[in-house]
Amino acid sequence: MTLLALLFMGYLLSSQWQELATHQWSLNGGWLALSALGLAAAWAVEVALWWLLLRLIGGRIPYWAAVRIWFLSAVVRYIPGNVWQPLSMTLQAGRWGVRPEITLPSIALYQLTIVLATAPIAALYVGATGNWGLLTQWLGPWTAWLAALAMLPVLLFLLRPVWLIEIFNWVLVRVGRQPLIAQLSRGMLLLLLLIAMLDWLLWGAAFAALAFAVTAFSPDEMRALLPHLVAAYSVAYTIGFLSIVTPSGLGVREGAFYLILAPVMGGGIVTVTALAMRLWTTLGELVAAGGALLLHDSPAPALSDGAAMTEPGPAPAKQ
């Protein structure tokens, strides 16, 4: 599958070669720096989201420990198999006394939350722009119905947030594990979704800044492209994540970018920008993982498996 993904990306590049050869490329350091700041902010938010979910179901670790676990685990997700990152997070959290039946559901809850948070962004985007990329001709007349369908799971879980915990407890019982003793209020779920949406918007802003860094656009062009770039990131990333056929959505995510953005910014430009974002985030993760190695690594006793909360308590002091 990885080989097929690489061949597909090669095909995208070769099919757009004439446009790529005649395009005036550039590298703007200011926009590149803004993109790096966007990545750092997005990572800080998504680690905080997982940390809150872990606390919600009874796993207590300091935030800095969550940062260390997150980035040391992120670099292994590029290994084919899609299980190495959760396994790594579970093993590292176990050093803090957090049981696997706490860590694994927290990871699954995080993934479900960010997928659900994509729906409002996508619904607002297609509702406002009517852009379905290369599929606009066929899906355009169904925009209102498809946007409502995308929002349906979000509304259902907001009406009955307890279903999220019940789903995971059903799975845990079936595999012979203890169920989670946790409650999830409607207000807490809404807060988690808003945090996840903020995370997506920061990722989209970082993607847009990178696009402006590698291609010289006029101010008017930037203003016109900004909503497309910001919204497309969450949608394309989620499509790649749900594909589960390649490590970290390799090839699938880039194909989704092409599908959504080719009509508004050109196939060659979006292909190079999507590949540049892949390399940019991988480099950022490697740097962050190196920094995470410098964080304190002495788990304190009895920090986890406390009573689950409906709202998160005060954050442990950073060391």
- pLDDT, one tens digit per residue, over 35-57 is 999 999 999 999 999 999 999 99
Q: How many structural domains does the chain have?
A: 1
Residue keyed to tokens 């990131």: 233
Residue 16 located in a structural domain: no
Question: What's the pLDDT score for residue 17?
Answer: 55
Residue 157 located in a structural domain: yes
* pTM, to two decimals: 0.85
Tens-digit pLDDT profile for residues 99-143: 998 998 899 899 999 999 999 999 999 999 999 999 999 999 999
Q: Is the pLDDT of residue 19 over 60?
A: no
Does residue 198 or residue 163 have the better pLDDT?
198
Q: Is the pLDDT of residue 11 over 80?
A: no
Question: What's the pLDDT score for residue 242?
Answer: 87
Residue 8 located in a structural domain: no
Which structural domain range is residue 64 located in?
Answer: 27-292
- The tally of CA atoms less than 13 A away on the side-chain side of residue 31 is 17
Residue 311 located in a structural domain: no
Residue 206 located in a structural domain: yes
Residue 138 located in a structural domain: yes
Residue 112 located in a structural domain: yes
User: 81-85, 182-186, 250-254: which has the minimum mean pLDDT?
Assistant: 81-85
Residue 133 located in a structural domain: yes
Residues facing residue 215 across a β-bridge: 25
